[in-house]
Amino acid sequence: MNFAKHIERIKKAHQLIYSEKTGKPEAFAVKLRISRSQLYNELDFFKSLKAVIKYSKKTESFYYAEPFDLEISYTLKIITDKEEQQIFGGMHFRPILLDGSAFNLFQQKSSRENLFVG
């Protein structure tokens, strides 16, 4: 999924939960244009941020049982190939493993690859 669309969906879900206007789970999923099962994945995401979300049968809406606010912002900038090279320091990069050693992406062919040379 597109990053910006996902962020906008999270913001919309937060707004609906905050204002207690989600409707039943099926209606909430439709408002977010996702499946009901995906809706519960999104709710789990909020819960991973320590949001306490409950559902009221009386109001037929999800709501925050404890104060919770969510502020998301991002910046998107289109860059040229030259700018990308400056950001990454060139055309090639050299990943560093967790133990601090360098990982060479351009290693010699393995003996297994030599089997297929005709």
pLDDT of 105: 53
pLDDT of 73: 82
pLDDT in tens, 26-42: 999 999 999 999 999 99
On whether both 51 and 86 belong to a single domain, the answer is no
Number of separate domains in the chain:
2
On whether both 54 and 85 belong to a single domain, the answer is no
In a domain, 117, yes or no: no
Average pLDDT over residues 64-82: 85
Average pLDDT over residues 94-111: 57
In a domain, 53, yes or no: yes
Model confidence at 76: pLDDT above 90? no
Q: What is the mean pLDDT of the chain?
A: 82
CA distance 68 to 10: 14
In a domain, 69, yes or no: no
On whether both 89 and 53 belong to a single domain, the answer is no
In order of 36, 47, 59, 91, the CA distances from 18 in angstroms are 19, 14, 13, 46
In a domain, 12, yes or no: yes
Domain that holds residue 105: 81-111
On whether both 42 and 85 belong to a single domain, the answer is no
pLDDT of 9: 94
Read off the pLDDT band of 100 (50, 70, 90).
low
Q: What is the CATH number of the domain that holds 43?
A: 1.10.10
In a domain, 56, yes or no: yes
Model confidence at 115: pLDDT above 60? no
Q: Which of 9, 4, 7 is nearest to 76 (CA)?
A: 4
pTM (2 decimals)? 0.64
On whether both 87 and 56 belong to a single domain, the answer is no
pLDDT of 118: 45
In a domain, 87, yes or no: yes
SS (H, E, C) the chain: CCHHHHHHHHHHHHHHHHCCCCCCHHHHHHHHCCCHHHHHHHHHHHHHCCCCEEEECCCCEEEECCCCCCCCCCCCCCCCHHHHHHHHCCCCCCCECCCCCECCCCCCCCHHHHCCCC
